Structure 1
């Protein structure tokens, strides 16, 4: 089963997403995108496949965003992608690619929409929020 996560081990959403993937019994391909950024074409394709705009996939709270003037609305998508690749911390995370689609998994449980296999066990996020019950079913808030 080919599942790839573009992962930042320092990010809670990324760690929770990885744990949800593993809760299906699958070990995904884990790419530390900070050390090994995707190509321009691949990043652009992932953003498009996830139904996002380039601006929707960039981390605006990172210092580099302001330092590089990336809030300039005149900047074209390709220039923004080039900046994201030059400074991978600007790529929002985690992106997950499965045979069922691509998602930017913020929040982590968005990965459940594209996983081909069911959850095997109960799962709670690092903050204690229950996401999957003991029968492997998604818990809906409310």
Structure 2
């Protein structure tokens, strides 16, 4: 099974999800450090759609200026535009497999798609 993780190595949740993927037999893993290779707006929209969550649920508020910018109350288009322009606003880790997409917070949510 192929798995893709949008990863931030400085995040303990992201590291834990990556370790879980590496420990799973039969996983062909693609790791994308999203701060270095930001996903496009279209990619983000597809990931949140496939995860069944609105983009605002994937908005990182801790350690960002998302609240001050009004993004916690903004619509999907504004949130996606902001995330595409500033990937620090993307909550992590996002994981995609053939079984679906999950924002793996808590990390155990990864089990749903393995």
TM-score normalized by the length of structure 1:
0.74
Return the offset for 1:4: 0.2
CA distance in 2, matches of 1:46, 1:27: 19
SS for the counterpart of 1:10 is coil
Q: Does the 8 Å CA contact 1:64/1:87 hold for their aligned counterparts?
A: no
TM-score normalized by the length of structure 2:
0.91
Kindly report the root-mean-square deviation, in angstroms, between the aligned alpha carbons of the 2 structures: 1.3
Return the offset for 1:31: 0.1
SS for the counterpart of 2:102 is strand
Range 8-17 or range 75-84, more displaced? 75-84
Name the residue aligned to 2:97: 98
Structure with greater helix percent: 2
Count of matched residue positions in the alignment of Structure 1 and Structure 2: 113
**Greater C-alpha Rg:** 1
Task: Select the structure with the greater relative contact order (CA < 8 A; seq sep ≥ 6).
Answer: 2
Gaps of 5+ in 2: none
